[in-house]
Copies of this chain bind each other. A is one copy, B any other.
Amino acid sequence: MDYFKKSLELHKKKKGKLEIKSKIPLNNKTDLAIVYTPGVAKPCQEIAKNPDNAYEYTIKGNSVAVVTNGTAVLGLGNIGAQAALPVMEGKCLLFKKFANIDAYPICLDTEDNQKIIETVKIIAPGFGGINLEDIKAPDCFDIEKQLTKELDIPVFHDDQHGTAIVVLAALINALKIVKKRVDKIKIIINGSGAAGIATAKILLDYGVKDITLVDSRGAICHNCPELTKPKKEIAKLTNLGKVEGQLKDVIIQSDVFIGLSVPNILKKELVKTMAPLPIIFALANPIPEIMPKQAKQAGAAIIATGRSDFPNQINNVLAFPGIFRGLLDNRAKKATREMKLAAAKTLASLVKNPVPNKIIPSVFEKNIAQKIALSISKCIN
């Protein structure tokens, strides 16, 4: 099927994907007096007395703003706020479908970090959580950090943490299959953007010791010139051997390749230089760093991609709906590292008997979000 053509047709026919519905009947003057004036004054007054009452009487507690400025949309790059709207609407549908969360797209017409932070703070009263989406690195790091510090509702940049959580979940199961210990493995992360850096961080939190990130100029290390601040920080915690060089130089004898980069960059010859039973997560979309067939021919023991037409799809939708469900259910003020680890472990545990072609649940399996939400709740209560 030509998904592009079909998608364009459907978007045109329906004029977008979301609509607003009433949860309360409004058919006569009595209804009107209850949902609007004069009756509505009462919940307003209760919230004015105590702001926490917004969770009792309004949509706040089940509402998430899906916030973007359109600077890093899918593989399309910086297409701007307006053009990002179809993706944000899609994201909102996923929130609803998988976690019954009412998410609304907020597309910001600015590339100024301070304005983004200020805007999100100003619109925050109506929301129970903020999902940052498709904001380019390194801006996304600072924006998330500042907002997390200043807001009393959770802020979660899905391109970072959603990806990181699902990658860790898949890796937990992959390591069981190849019988390797997390603290003994060597991991290469190719791609040092938002997802690459967040993945490195969660892997370190989980107990991985030896990680090397690679960007388009090669392995990143503490002494590399002209690194952005987030890269400099992660460089201090990774690349223990202080190696320099390109992917082909650093991939030798590694156990795991995680690609969050560009199509076709991982050649069969490189896979052959890895340690025995190599694990390949080739997550560039829609064309992975190496096609599964080639990876297998080169000796890969386990292969995952971002695509739905191959086994082991690493898809953020496995994580973010459940995480926000858990955050909202507990009126959490932050999404913590502990919660992210708990979500990854729970997601891994949902595959009862991991085998090479099944290291991660499929998107439409039942109750994934509910189980992740429960793991978030356990971190709080």
Contacts and interface: CB of A to CB of B under 8 A. Distances in A.
A74 B28 CA distance: 21
Contact of A15 (B56, B86, B94): B56
A3 B34 contact: yes
Interface in A119-177: 119, 121-126
B44 A83 contact: yes
B74 A37 contact: yes
A3 B38 contact: yes
A21 interface: yes
Contacts of A300: none
Interface string A231-271: 00000000000000000000000000000000000000000
Main secondary structure of the interface of A (DSSP, over half): helix
Nearest to A95: B20
A29 interface: yes
Interface stretch (A6-14, A199-207, A290-298): A6-14
Contact of A79 (B17, B37, B45, B76): B45
Q: How many copies does the complex hold?
A: 2
B44 A79 contact: yes
Given A15-B61, A24-B10, A38 B286 contact: yes
A276 interface: no
Contacts of A184: none
A223 interface: no
A59 B3 contact: no
Contacts of A103: 20
A47 B93 contact: no
Given A76-B44, A82-B51, A24 B17 contact: yes
B44 A87 contact: yes
Contacts of A1: 30, 33
- The 3 lowest CB-CB distance pairs between A and B, nearest first, are A7-B39, A16-B59, A3-B39
19 contacts: A4-B41, A7-B39, A7-B40, A10-B24, A10-B35, A11-B58, A12-B57, A17-B59, A19-B22, A26-B93, A29-B308, A33-B308, A35-B93, A37-B74, A44-B79, A57-B86, A58-B86, A109-B121, A109-B124
Given A18-B22, A33-B308, A82-B125, 14 more contacts: A5-B42, A6-B34, A8-B46, A19-B21, A19-B59, A32-B363, A40-B86, A40-B90, A43-B86, A44-B76, A51-B82, A54-B82, A59-B89, A85-B126
